[in-house]
Amino acid sequence: MNATYQFLLDKIQRKLSGWNANSLSMAGRITLAKAVIAAIPNYFMQTALLPLKEHNKAFLCKLGFRVLTRRGELWVDILREKYHVGDFIPDSVVIGNCSFLWRSLAKIWDEIRPNIYVSIRDGKRTSFWFEDWIPELGPLWQHKKLGVMIPNEWKVADVVTNNHDWNWEVLDKFLTPNALLHISNICPPNPFVGEDNIAWKGAKEGAIAIWEHIWALKCPQRVRNFIWLACRGKILTNEERFRRGLTNNEACGLCGAHQESVLHVLRDCRMIKSVWREMVAPAKQGVFFSLSLIEWLNANICSSVKFNNEDFSWCSIFSIVCWFAWKQRNDLVFNGGLQEAWDILDTSFIWARHVAGVGHSRSKQSNNSRAIAVKWNLPPVNWIKLNTDGAWDSTTGIDKAGGVIRNSEGAWLAGYNRLVGVSSIYNAELWAIFDGLTLAWNMNFRRLVVDCDNARLVKLLKIVNEVAVTSSLLARIKELLNRDWIVKFQHVFREANLVADSVAKMSNPNHRGVRLLDNCPPVLRPILEVDRLGKVRTRISKSRVLA
């Protein structure tokens, strides 16, 4: 094998040797290596296990995913027929007398299968109990109530009402409260949006992937690289060193905990935990210390809120604290350093302020604040305006969605909200738009302006007919938009969306599905009146300009 593909290794080496690596930063070296390694061997690596094992696995996973999802294409139909792939998502594939390509796919099928799930559309062929259709939970038979006998033959479509909503009365009898919270985040089956399809876990149309948030962090490149490695679980903790055979002890070297995992190092070890308790508000600590590694990193890295009264955001200071926690731990373990937990906090704040531009002498920059006049605008005559928003309850970790419909005079026509459950703020925003569009259609409004304060989501919905859709919720929104009416989306600042934000936060935790508000709640009338009169609210925008 080495001799057969030696020409590839030689070609990569020649390409890399023409550069002086010492003249490039760490980020530059990473970019160069990835570009060369990705570009040269692509054709040759698709059907054989080469020395670059992980890269090759990615090609085979992509090929396996296409075999499952591209029925109707000639090459896929031939392979499925030849190797008897009849199941919707087979647990294994036959290898018998087969080609080298198929044998390679069979070897990594155990890595493909756990990373795919069913995106529910009509729900007619997906097993309710045994298929993986809730990515965060896995098969629901693992989450049934103790002592309950489950009907094995159920399909997902069998647990919805005639109004195409979940049959909560039935679900309550069989499933745990945590499972119900996850189901509330899934769009119920509907026969008008096509058949169930297969999707890759973590792929969400229009959502900013976590790596995009990482590379957008306002912090040094070394910190971004570190956070990226943490997300992939590649930091050399004792757990990882034990897995690689570099040590025979995976316990924490500082507190003696049984396992020194990435999450233990960055959050749960005694020293760093005291730092987080100092930084995180007491009301939010319950959720902060209970999330899994990926949920924890995603929730904090994707947060754009400012940290207290500082000029930097929470995601920046969070990432820098993680970096210094790792540095200090290594100094303590390997060099016998004597730093205290407060050193992490003090040094992290200095770095965060420096990166934000405070006291940055070399950049010659200064921060200027400017006030922007923001107000809610009436829709044109004979048009209706829908304001939507999603909200996240920091004390429970539960997402909510809601919105309000008003006429061209600013009068309240209808409001709505729902408990989305365990989800993401992006998905909560989608639910708010879906429920709002459904309500507006049912109220026979045919000219609609939709205001949303999520600029990326507005951009996606304007071109939703031009992109491939795997999300069942986005597919339902797409179906609504293609009906016979006019819907215009526009982005607004949060200050012009306060009514929708307040309605979303008022979601009843004991109510399943969408809840309609025929009349404006008294507590919202002052905000509604400010909007109706077109009064200006001030938005402070901080911009950095050259001194």
State whether 344 and 227 are in the same domain.
Answer: yes
The alpha carbon of residue 545 and the mean position of all alpha carbons in its chain are separated, in whole angstroms, by 33
* Helix (H) or strand (E) segment spanning residue 36: helix 26-39
State whether 28 and 81 are in the same domain.
Answer: no
Of 200, 235, 262, which one is at a domain's C-terminal end?
A: 200
State whether 124 and 111 are in the same domain.
Answer: no
CA distance 159 to 137: 18
State whether 535 and 392 are in the same domain.
Answer: yes
Tell me how many domains the chain contains. 5
CA distance 385 to 408: 8
**Maximum C-alpha span of the chain:** 78
b/e for 467-504, b at 16 or more Cβ within 10 A?
A: eebbbbbbbbbbebbeeeeebebebbeebbbbbbbbbb
State whether 69 and 12 are in the same domain.
Answer: no
State whether 79 and 108 are in the same domain.
Answer: yes
Query: Splitting the chain (547 residues) into consecutive groups of 10 residues, what average pLDDT does each group show?
Result: 66 67 65 66 56 72 87 86 80 80 86 87 91 87 91 93 89 92 88 84 56 80 87 86 86 81 90 87 85 84 77 87 88 68 78 69 46 90 96 78 96 95 84 96 96 89 79 88 95 94 90 92 95 88 40
pTM equals 0.64
Q: Quick check: is 365 in a domain?
A: no
> Which residue segment(s) compose the domain that 157 sits in?
120-200
Q: Quick check: is 489 in a domain?
A: yes
Q: Show the tokens assigned to 215.
A: 């590379």
pLDDT on residue 337: 61
State whether 78 and 133 are in the same domain.
Answer: no
Q: Quick check: is 131 in a domain?
A: yes
pLDDT on residue 382: 93
